[in-house]
């Protein structure tokens, strides 16, 4: 019966990606009167459908993210069980992830401009603040922490809207299920307190966002090495300022980066709202344009699109993130290790 309901609602168009936990499909939702809508179906592997840990991750992702109705967070439309496994139907974001943006800049010998990086971080901060302060229907704070902020989980539409995706390991006070002490997420973006086993905190997400900001404006991985080395660097080694790598790096932006990357949470921004206000003030002082429009112009230029063919309201599509245990590598520089977790290079995006 569930299989029939699924086939009446959704048509799978093509597989977009496959990870250790799930398959990601571009799909079309169909309805009466010729209604159609493109979306993404994230379907857990059938071989894992009987594994309660994996099912729990999928259900928690849907349950948490479905409550977060915000322009900078991917929307969840539906969850169900069909063909002996579970699925989530989610918004399809028309645009690449931040890792692919950084990679494309490096291929043309440049870096993500600081004003563009600042705008992206501002929009992500808006989404994070909404999640961090979200209250349930009874007015009780859920205290949702993403815990996996990384370039592959920040998508940017060609209309200039940033979308935060993959709440699969988000931690909420009201979450029914807890992990068993195993570190989850991408180690190179993990806040020191999480590595040390402390409870997640909104400022943990800000540290991860600081790593993203450092990397895309410098073009190098910040914490390099095997897991033990990366953990040691995060916990004990001084963070190199961006100006060490990039001449004329804006001093004001560097102050923001280094505050985000403070080892002790109390030395970072108090919350995402404070970060947002600081960055917006900085952008105003430096005369940097703000909002989706300049970011959209940047995206259409970077990806060689005709701006007239891009609808700024076409905020559909998730170039989907791979799953927690995936480890797809992309080059960030000739001698550098790689950003991990980005989607595979498309046929039109092969390195020259």
Which secondary-structure segment (H or E) carries 43? strand 36-44
Q: Does the active-site annotation cover 148? A: yes
Residue 144 token pair: 């949702």
* 335: DSSP letter: T
> How far is residue 127's CA from residue 262's CA, in Å, rounded to a whole number?
22
CA 343 to chain centre: 12
Residue 121 token pair: 């971080």
* 341: DSSP letter: S
The values of phi and psi at residue 325, to 5°, are: -100, 10
The number of beta carbons lying within 10 Å of the beta carbon of residue 54 is 21
Runs of H (alpha helix) within 153-285: 192-195, 202-218, 227-236, 251-260, 272-285
Which secondary-structure segment (H or E) carries 119? helix 114-132
Active-site annotation holder among 60, 97, 100, 148: 148
Residue 205 token pair: 């997400």
Task: Let me know: does 118 contact 259? Beta carbons within 8 Å.
Answer: no
What crossing angle do the helices spanning 251-260 and 272-285 adopt, rounded to 10°?
Answer: 170
Q: With the C-alpha atoms ordered 155, 163, 151, 60, is the resulting torsion angle positive or negative?
A: negative
Parallel, antiparallel, or unpaired: how do β-strands 22-30 and 10-18 relate? antiparallel
3-class secondary structure, 268: coil
Q: Which residues are catalytic?
A: 148
């Amino acid at each position: 019966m569930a299989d029939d309901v699924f086939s009446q609602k959704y048509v799978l168009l093509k597989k977009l990606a496959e990870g250790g936990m799930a398959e990601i499909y571009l799909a079309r939702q169909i309805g009466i009167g010729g209604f159609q809508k493109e979306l993404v179906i994230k379907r857990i592997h059938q071989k894992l459908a009987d594994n309660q840990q994996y099912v729990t991750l999928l259900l928690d992702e849907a349950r948490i993210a479905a409550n977060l109705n915000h322009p900078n967070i991917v929307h969840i439309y539906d969850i169900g069980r069909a063909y002996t496994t579970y699925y989530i139907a989610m918004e399809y974001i028309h645009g690449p992830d931040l890792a692919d943006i950084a990679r494309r800049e490096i291929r043309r010998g440049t870096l993500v401009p600081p004003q563009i990086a600042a705008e992206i971080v501002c929009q992500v901060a808006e989404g994070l603040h909404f999640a961090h302060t979200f209250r349930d229907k009874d007015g009780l704070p859920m205290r949702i922490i993403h815990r996996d902020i990384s370039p592959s989980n920040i998508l940017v539409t060609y209309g200039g809207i940033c979308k935060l995706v993959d709440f699969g390991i988000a931690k909420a006070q009201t979450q029914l299920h807890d992990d068993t002490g195993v570190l989850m997420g991408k180690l190179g973006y993990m806040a020191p307190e999480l590595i040390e086993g402390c409870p997640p905190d909104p400022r943990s997400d800000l540290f991860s966002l600081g790593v993203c900001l450092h990397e895309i404006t410098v073009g190098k991985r910040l914490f390099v090495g095997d897991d033990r080395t990366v953990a040691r660097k995060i916990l004990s080694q001084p963070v190199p300022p961006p100006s060490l790598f990039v001449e004329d790096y804006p001093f004001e932006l560097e102050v923001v980066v280094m505050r985000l990357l403070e080892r002790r949470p109390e030395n970072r921004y108090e919350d995402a709202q404070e970060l947002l206000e600081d960055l917006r003030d900085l952008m105003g002082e430096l005369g940097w344009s703000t909002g989706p429009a300049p970011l959209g112009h940047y995206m259409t230029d970077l990806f060689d699109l005709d701006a007239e063919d891009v609808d700024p309201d076409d905020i559909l599509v998730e170039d989907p993130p791979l799953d927690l245990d995936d480890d797809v590598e992309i080059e960030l520089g000739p001698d550098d290790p790689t950003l991990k977790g980005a989607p595979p290079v498309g046929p039109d995006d092969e390195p020259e």
